[in-house]
Structure formats: C-alpha cells, structure tokens
Structure 1
Amino acid sequence: MKLSRRLILSATALTLLAGCAQSPYQQQGGAPADSNKTAIYGGLGALAGAVAGAAINHDNRGKGALIGAAVAGAAGAGYGYYVDKQEAQLRQQMQGTGVEIQRQGDDLQLIMPGNITFATNSADIASNFYGPLSNLANSFKQFDQNSIEIVGHTDSTGGYQYNVGLSQRRAQSVANYLVSQGVNPARVTTRGAGPDQPVASNNTEAGRQQNRRVEVTLRPLPGAQY
C-alpha cells in the first residue's frame, strides 16, 4: 500500500514545528531540558502518527496524516505539553488578580500575596478573592493530573508559634474552599511555614508584605496519564 510521501512529510513538519516552538512563558536564557524532551518526544510521536493516520484513512490520506500527527505528537510530548496548556490557562485566568505564576521545569507555582487573600491577622478569605479562587478550582478540576501543595507564609512580626499557626490556617482555608468547589481532596496537601521561608527582608514594610503570602505548587502525580 503506497502512502503519499509529500503529505506525510508535511504533516510531520507541521507538528515538529509546533513541538519545537518555545513556550512564551519560559525563562530567558534558553529552553529548559524538559522543554527539549517535549519537542523530541512530540516530534517522534508526530512521525509515527502521520504514517498511521495516513494508512488508516484510505479515502483522504492527507487528512489522516495531519490528524494522526497532531494527536500522536501531543500524546508523545507527555507532561511537558500538558503543563504548557495548564500554564497558559492559569495565566489568562489570573491576569489582573495580583496572583503571580512561576514555572520551574514541570512545576507550576502560584504566589498569592497576603494583602489580596486575607485581612490582617485573619485566616478568612477576602470576599473579593473568591472569584479568582473559583477560577483556580475550575482549572484544577479540568487539569486533574497534578498534586496541589498549599503553603502559608508570614513575616517575622509577632510570636513565632502564632505565625506558624496563622500560616497553617490560611493554607487550610484555601484548601477547604478549593475542595468545596469540587477539587479532589486526595490531591491537596497543606503546610504552614510561618516566617521560616522569607523571600524578602523583614526589616522593611515592603519586604514584610512580600513575605506574607500563600503559595500553591502543582507537580505531576506519580503514574498519571497524559
């Protein structure tokens, strides 16, 4: 059975280009190793998919090659491709909310400043932050193949044990709301770090404000299917 070489090569090239394109959210200074794996595995999957797709679709081998390349390329890319999609959605949803999104390899971290999530010395979620948290819950339900670690942080003002307790209660408040919106509780863990992991100096108000935060980190679940 002859296949159209030109159509298969075209389909493969299109998917290879898509797989090799650098994510707009990657840090400057070159693509990380995980992104290279995404491109390599996605490209190899595209090649196999193009051949299989053309072979299966006897009536329109060109269309079959394109579809086969796209589907197999995405599957071959694995978690790198999966987290690219999740990152893009989260950045769109969190735009203008004050929530910062950072990516390290295949881990995504959402940093929620304390001044937009909680009132001073309170673990009650601010009323205007329920909307962004609802969007997060919807995203976490759609992209359900990663774990969700929620860690509360405080500045060094006040007693140490009080700050540890407050940071734990804040992390748990975020977790409770996400679970109430349908996020699987088995994916969620919480921890209160208190003042132990500052990201800025506690000697200035600006620094203390940066240290008062909740961080949500997304990591791949062991054995997850993408």
Structure 2
Amino acid sequence: MKKSLLVLALASVVGFTGCTTLDPYTGEQRTSRATQGALIGAAAGAVIGNVTGSRDRTRRAMIGAGIGALAGAAVGNYMDQQEAELRRELEGTGVSVTRDGDNLILNMPGNITFDVNRDEVKSEFYPVLNSVAKVLKKYDKTAIEVAGHTDSTGTVEHNMALSLRRADSVAGYLLGQGIQNVRIATIGFGPHRPIADNNTAQGRSLNRRVELTLIPLT
C-alpha cells in the first residue's frame, strides 16, 4: 500500500505536556511559550527525519516489485526526458517543474488544487493530474513522494493532519490513474517547510501547496 508519514507535535514530545503556566487574566492553565516552541521543533525534526527512511522503503518496494534500477549516465538522460515531457504537459496549468540534481519537483499551489481548509482535490484540477499521471506511467523507474504543506495559520496539529490528508488525496488520484502503489509515499509537513513569509497573505498562499518529488530509482 501507499506509505504515509504523519507526526503530530504532542505525540512527538509527550514529556512536555505538563509544562504549563497560569494565565494572569483568565486564571486558566496554558502551555508555556517555551513548551510550544519545543513541541513544534520536535515535530518538525521528527517529520523531516523520516523522509530519508521513507525514500529508502519506497526504493526497496520498487525493486521488490521487479522495477529495474537506472545506473550511470542513464539516470540523467532519463530524468531529462521526463522533465521535458512534464514541462510540455504542464505549461499554463499553474504547476511548476523544478530540477534539483536528478530529482524533479512539481509544485501544485493549494489555491488551484483544493478549496480552503478542504482535502478533496478540485474536480477542475483533474485534467492536470491526468497529465502528470500520463508522464509518470511512461517513466515508471521514478519514485513519487507526495508532500503536503500548509501556512502557519491555525494549530500545528490541525495543519499537520490537513497537509497529510491533502497529500493522500493527490496520491489517491494518481493511484486511480494506474500508477503503481509501490512507487508512491505521502508525507505531511504542515507549516514546517515554508517557501515564503507567513507574515504576508501572498507568502501564506505560496506556502499552501502539495509538492511531488520525482526520484529516479538507482
């Protein structure tokens, strides 16, 4: 089955849950700022630390399924061709294609993929995902990491869960288009990997996204 990773802040550092202070205005107990920072930091570290392990598991699953690995100069050429086809298919869709070494990153902005605070892929985005799936089916020696990201509005727990549900929705659609499940892993980063300033509306909009990282099987 498709592999999912989700680390909730409170579950990551249970030992901090007793660190509270008394609110001088309401008389209620509340989590101290230091504790909140520790919770958020621990959650981010746990999620990011799981990425390498997830990619290793996906690689082993693909090899176990009989998908042959690429080697040497074939890797770069294979990803060059895949990149060119993705750029042609996705031109004008709002989805960007970025090269990072031998990996490809498809950035799917949240405003064109999902309604506000929802995790169902918009029906008008289906044709874009169909185009992505068409290329991914052709280049089947590529692992697919689907990562959900949010802005910093709201609680960390809510954002972590929402980001994973959105990643799962995109992954589920690709599975429905015939992509092998051994190739796909999902992860929810919540607000922990911003690409813009969360203090501005534009920055928050950029941070709400789903990214597909395409990794050659080597």
Q: How many percent identity over aligned positions? A: 53
Give the TM-score normalised by structure 2: 0.66
Separation of aligned partners in 2, 1:166 and 1:92: 31
Cα deviation, residue 77, structure 1:
3.3
Question: CA separation of 1:193/1:76 partners in 2, compared to 1, >3 Å: closer, same or farther?
Answer: closer
Match of 2:164 in 1: 168
Q: CA deviation at 1:129?
A: 0.4
Larger relative helix fraction? 1
The aligned residue for residue 14 of structure 2 is none
Equivalent runs, 1:59-208 vs 2, <5 Å: 77-208=73-204
> Could you say which residue in structure 1 is the equivalent of 2:206?
210
Q: Where does structure 1 differ by over 3 angstroms across 4 or more consecutive aligned residues?
A: none
Relative contact order higher in (CA < 8 Å, ≥ 6 apart): 2
Shift of 1:83: 0.7
Secondary structure of the residue aligned to 2:151 is: coil
Map Cα deviations across residues 76-115 of structure 1 (whole Å, 9 max, x no partner): 7301111111000000000000001100111000000000
Distance 1:76 1:155 in 2: 39
Between the aligned partners of 1:141 and 1:182, the Cα distance in structure 2 is 7
Shift of 1:183: 0.1
CA separation of 1:80 and 1:210: change in aligned 2, threshold 3 A: same
Instruction: Output the aligned Cα RMSD.
Output: 1.2
Structure 1 CA distance for aligned equivalents of residues 99 and 186 of structure 2: 20
In structure 1, the residue matched to 2:40 is none
SS in 1 for 2:92: coil
Distance 1:164-1:76 versus aligned 2 partners, 3 A rule: closer
In structure 2, what residue type is equivalent to 1:89?
Answer: E
Alignment map for 1:34-73 (pairs within 5 Å): none
Query: Alignment partner of 2:97: what SS?
Result: strand
How many corresponding residue pairs? 148
Deviations 1:133-168 (A, max 9, x none): 011111111000010000000000011100100000
Q: Which amino acid letter does the alignment assign opposite residue 210 of structure 1? A: L
For 1:149, the aligned partner's letter is: E
Letter in 2 for 1:117: T
Question: What SS does structure 2 have at the residue aligned with 1:78?
Answer: helix
CA distance in 2, matches of 1:96, 1:220: 26
Relative to the length of structure 1, the TM-score reads 0.64
SS in 1 for 2:117: coil
Highest CA radius of gyration, 1 or 2?
1
